[in-house]
Structure 1
Amino acid sequence: MNTPAEKPDPPPARPTDDGSGAIDLTGHLMGDYQVLRRLGRGGMADVYVAQQKSLGRKVAIKVLRKDLAGDASYVERFRREARAVAKLSHANIVQVYEVGQQDSHYYIVQEFVDGQNLREKLERDGTLSVADAVKVMAGVTDALIAANEAGVTHRDIKPENIMLSRRGEVKVADFGLARVLGGEPLTDLTQAGLTMGTPRYMSPEQMQGKAVDTRSDLYSLGVTMFHLLCGRPPFEADDPLAMAVKHLQEEPPDLVECRAGEDLPMWLVATVEKLLRKTPEQRMQSPQELAAAIHAGITQLSPSLARTTATSLSAAMALQMAVDHQKSNRLSRHWKSLALWLLPLVGLLAGGAWAANQQTTSIRQLLSADSQDVVRLDSAAAQYLEAARVDRPQAWRAVWTYHSPEDSQTNADYAVKAQLQLARLYQQRGEWQPAADALSQFIDDAEAPLLYRMLGQAMLVEMSEQQADVKTAGRWRSELQKNYEQLAATNPTHLELFHRKAPRSVAERLKPQ
């Protein structure tokens, strides 16, 4: 029986000059890999998608830039580092399959991620939601834990090197290739043709050409998180030297103020701030410590997540997405910006315990006759932003009426913030008693978050002074002073928030002389 002869493979295409002096390997056969198309170009490598013939799968191939391939010491370091990283195997790391050479081309074959990197997502969709950003941070942290345990430092954490697959998986790319940057002076980086995308996320010690460790990666992750949440990195400059000066000498902008119209969990704000400390000793000392902070922050919102994070931080992030993803994104950016100055503070602090002893009040009792036009929205966050838009008493009451504080700690947190806003509205109207009544819902409750209670007490001091009620003002000032000292000793980040949100005339007098 005659069988048809197998058709020979077509001869490999010759590399072509794309007109810019660079070689385009599209159509070229590199060993077992048929190059299909070029995906992009970087300062150090061209990236292609290829078909691995033996396994019938798509892979990504990074080919070292032609001018760098002529430096033998550079090539050897590239190959040695890449082989070491190829041993890493983790769900949040883009897997390296092979390091090879064909003719004068040095390449890395790695997992092909069908999706986009975070730089592309930022440019297309703008800032990430808090839940998405936390999921990214947890995924990158897991990747850094695996790398740290293997003695590998990434050295180039940035949005371009964090991938999101179509299934929502977080993947850190460029382990190995990025490691070539370790310890190089800033001038060498510019000589290598790197874009500002790398210095923009570098740690101060890396900018200075010092030896770096995993704490440098944590700094870069902090810069990346700031960019994802704010829409711009904390430091920007026109050239690498000016960028280095900013990283070394300037403090980052306030993340809370930078992110317009969105609530940020205060544990997340504090975490990013700590990651951005100038000296490695002041930062978190390991990705394991960061993972613990993420775990603790999420379980503030829901203790039930503690069991999940005990076995899988990534699984906890998936739950966090489901629980905390707010549909308030449907509101226009205009109303979100308007809401910013109305927020008494930001953050999803654990505030649900205080609501357990509150009496349930019917909707009819809480909402006045003119409140029938208050539309019920899908979440407490969306209801809060709508109340900020219209700024009416019935709209603020709807936050805790339509979304019971007893149902979740998130609802309880928005309820107490809405009560603060309601008091603020009554105070502006000169309606002192309704303002005090709104604050009385939580101000004496030891289970309520201390920062909330202090803001309420500061309002009461201000209102009492406006009414020339010296005795009442003195009583609340005394209570506030004790709480101020407690907060100063236990939570400096919240103390800073208090000074930004409390009446200045009250807060300034609380500072130690």
Structure 2
Amino acid sequence: MGRHDPLIDTMAGNYRLVARLGAGGMGEVYKGVHGQIGSKVAIKLLHAMAARDNSLQQRFLLEAKAVNRIEHPGIVKVIDAGRTDGGRPFLVMELLEGASLHELRKEGKLTISEACRSMVDVLDALAAAHAAGVIHRDLKPANLFRTREGRTVVLDFGVAKLMANDAPVRLTMTGSAVGTPHYMAPEQIRGEPATPSVDIYAAGVVLFELLCGRRPFDNTDDESVMVGHLERRPPPPRALEPAIPIAVQDLILAALQKDPAKRPRSALAMRDALRAATDGVASSAVREPPSSASIPTLAATPSAKAPRPSRLRTLALVGAALFALLGVILIVYAAKRSRADRAASEPTVAKPAVPVDALFATCAQLVTIDPVGVADAQHAAVQAAFFQRCAEDRWDVAVIHCFVTVTTVVDLARCIGALTPDQRDRLESALDVKPKIAESIGDAKSMVSIQSYPSGAAISIDGVQLGKTPWAGQLPLANAIVEFAMPGYKPRSASINVRGDRPNVLKVVLIRARRAEDTELSSPYR
């Protein structure tokens, strides 16, 4: 039996909490019943820990202010607000029955046409929100709810941005990159001022997910997801779900443009385009098969009879087709037999195998004459020979010395970095008798590229300053912790395992530091 929820049967204003419906980032949602008239509502309470933070309390109440600006059936209204006896702020909202689009997608209960119609409802609600000066900033399937009547509504304006020109409201946020990484627009990730276009981008991600069963950038870690939004192209939706109409795919890809100016100009424009595409789906792809009653019976209408072809003519056509197919088969067989006969008559010339020792001896002899030329010409061959020796577990110093002499000139790191930990241990043991060679191995480096969003961050390793991003240079083959610092952004660190057998690229997204002016609402689109 589960643990009893201490809030059940407690009061939130005039409402008794009777069941827990769910929880989100800032609060918990309960079903409430009015103590006198019995009306049922949804009550959202701020988390107990968050209720101790005055700025988070203001953010919580900002949701009520945001949604009550919007007059639209697709936006759940806040009926009342208050505090519990324990001091926790709460909002009273319309109680909905149905399921979120996230739940419906996971259960496979959304067809293409249904998903498109739901998003038409969402975009219609967003258009009303934008017209009222409100940007949602956290649109995702979990925040979109489809009622039993088939109406899709937008929930959770907890991180909404007001664009009003009335009295400024100042709140302290945890950073400018507000939202859920999988649905954030590139400019939102960079911490730039939010505009309605961030909701259009998120709507494109949501529609992509509902139709394809996955998000365009579906990595498990937030860093890779945000880098995907910043610089990678999303896969074409029809490559994942061929049944998606071309017009719908084009609209999704337009909404996912990195440049806000290239996206649909408004939620209203995207709604109209999707509605047109959905009408096409409804009239063709989702057409019901005809019933037997609707199929005309030709025998009942003599004038509608189709002329019956001659049976002899039909047999003649079938015979001709079979004869032609047999001819094609014979031609193909003859061509293959001719090629096989020619190959059998030609002498087979075996390619002589180059012994590993001979290859190393040749390289060792030539390296004294032209080190750079030998390295450039023989590098791939030396690598192959070196790895063959590793596989044979032969670690004699002469071979290792020859390898180091030749390949240090260009890219020693590529070979050493490809060794397994066990092979590296064996190599180091063999090199113990030759300290000078071991020192060369220890100094092996590989090219590394380090980028940050935004660029211009100072980077360092073990207190040694490397420069500013974007940065490229040689680093030793090892695991390195890179420190990032930039005025106005939170300092952070990231690790990279520098290897020689692959490109070494480190990309991080910097988050703005806390500052009060991040949510000043005195100017539009701030």
TM-score (ref. length: structure 2): 0.50
Task: For residue 327 of structure 1, report the CA deviation from its aligned partner.
Answer: 5.2
Unaligned runs of 5+ in 1: 1-16, 302-319, 329-360, 370-428, 433-513
Q: Corresponding residue for 1:376?
A: none
Return the letter of the residue paired with 1:84: A
Per-residue Cα deviation, 1:21-51 (whole angstroms, up to 9, x for no partner): xx74221111111101111122221111111
Q: Corresponding residue for 1:164?
A: 146
SS in 2 for 1:245: helix
One of 35, 38, 43 as aligned partner of 1:53? 35
Superposed, which structure 2 residues align to 1:43-442 within 5 Å?
43-102=25-84, 103-125=86-108, 128-176=110-158, 178-179=160-161, 198-259=180-241, 262-298=242-278, 301=280, 325-326=286-287
Partners in 2 of 1:368 and 1:222 — Cα distance?
57
Partners in 2 of 1:45 and 1:18 — Cα distance?
19
Return the letter of the residue paired with 1:78: F
Partners in 2 of 1:163 and 1:266 — Cα distance?
27
SS in 1 for 2:49: helix
Partners in 1 of 2:132 and 2:234 — Cα distance?
31
Is the 2:32–2:42 contact (alpha carbons within 8 Å) kept by the matching residues of 1? yes
Is the 1:156–1:201 contact (alpha carbons within 8 Å) kept by the matching residues of 2? yes
1:42 paired with 2:44, answer: no
SS in 2 for 1:125: coil
Return the letter of the residue paired with 1:115: G
Which one scores higher on RCO, CA 8 angstroms, separation ≥ 6? 2
Is the 2:237–2:249 contact (alpha carbons within 8 Å) kept by the matching residues of 1? yes
Superposed, which structure 2 residues align to 1:13-24 within 5 Å?
24=6
Q: Which has the higher strand share?
A: 2
1:60–1:240 CA distance, 2 compared to 1 (3 A): same
Partners in 1 of 2:326 and 2:151 — Cα distance?
52
Return the letter of the residue paired with 1:325: V
Is the 1:183–1:211 contact (alpha carbons within 8 Å) kept by the matching residues of 2? no
Task: For residue 107 of structure 1, report the CA deviation from its aligned partner.
Answer: 1.4
Partners in 2 of 1:26 and 1:205 — Cα distance?
42
Return the letter of the residue paired with 1:216: V
Per-residue Cα deviation, 1:227-247 (whole angstroms, up to 9, x for no partner): 000001111122222221111
Partners in 2 of 1:188 and 1:233 — Cα distance?
19
Return the letter of the residue paired with 1:297: A
Unaligned runs of 5+ in 2: 163-170, 290-302, 312-324, 329-526
1:366–1:18 CA distance, 2 compared to 1 (3 A): farther
Partners in 2 of 1:48 and 1:158 — Cα distance?
21
Task: For residue 82 of structure 1, report the CA deviation from its aligned partner.
Answer: 2.3
1:362–1:75 CA distance, 2 compared to 1 (3 A): farther
Return the letter of the residue paired with 1:139: D
Per-residue Cα deviation, 1:192-213 (whole angstroms, up to 9, x for no partner): xx9xxx2111111111222112
Is the 2:120–2:275 contact (alpha carbons within 8 Å) kept by the matching residues of 1? no
Task: For residue 53 of structure 1, report the CA deviation from its aligned partner.
Answer: 3.2
Q: Using the TM superposition, name which of 97-106 and 269-278 deviates more.
A: 97-106
**How many pairs were matched up?**
293
Based on CA coordinates, which of the two structures has the bigger radius of gyration? Answer: 2
SS in 1 for 2:60: helix
Q: Which has the higher helix share?
A: 1
1:232–1:106 CA distance, 2 compared to 1 (3 A): same
Return the letter of the residue paired with 1:271: L
Task: For residue 367 of structure 1, report the CA deviation from its aligned partner.
Answer: 11
Is the 2:66–2:157 contact (alpha carbons within 8 Å) kept by the matching residues of 1? no
Partners in 2 of 1:104 and 1:159 — Cα distance?
31
SS in 1 for 2:16: strand
SS in 1 for 2:248: helix
1:57–1:48 CA distance, 2 compared to 1 (3 A): same
Is the 1:162–1:173 contact (alpha carbons within 8 Å) kept by the matching residues of 2? yes
Is the 2:177–2:188 contact (alpha carbons within 8 Å) kept by the matching residues of 1? no
Per-residue Cα deviation, 1:375-430 (whole angstroms, up to 9, x for no partner): xxxxxxxxxxxxxxxxxxxxxxxxxxxxxxxxxxxxxxxxxxxxxxxxxxxxxx89
Task: For residue 111 of structure 1, report the CA deviation from its aligned partner.
Answer: 1.1
SS in 1 for 2:250: helix
1:165–1:296 CA distance, 2 compared to 1 (3 A): closer
Task: For residue 153 of structure 1, report the CA deviation from its aligned partner.
Answer: 0.6
Q: Using the TM superposition, name which of 222-231 and 87-96 deviates more.
A: 87-96
Task: For residue 214 of structure 1, report the CA deviation from its aligned partner.
Answer: 1.1
Return the letter of the residue paired with 2:156: D
Task: For residue 322 of structure 1, report the CA deviation from its aligned partner.
Answer: 8.1
SS in 1 for 2:79: strand
Partners in 2 of 1:279 and 1:78 — Cα distance?
31
1:254–1:232 CA distance, 2 compared to 1 (3 A): same
Same amino acid, percent of matched pairs: 33
SS in 2 for 1:144: helix
1:258–1:41 CA distance, 2 compared to 1 (3 A): same
Partners in 1 of 2:271 and 2:141 — Cα distance?
19
1:249–1:35 CA distance, 2 compared to 1 (3 A): same
Return the letter of the residue paired with 2:76: V
Is the 2:99–2:145 contact (alpha carbons within 8 Å) kept by the matching residues of 1? yes
1:56–1:258 CA distance, 2 compared to 1 (3 A): same
Is the 2:41–2:95 contact (alpha carbons within 8 Å) kept by the matching residues of 1? yes
Partners in 1 of 2:194 and 2:87 — Cα distance?
31
Task: For residue 168 of structure 1, report the CA deviation from its aligned partner.
Answer: 1.0
CA RMSD of aligned residues (A): 3.5
Partners in 2 of 1:53 and 1:24 — Cα distance?
19
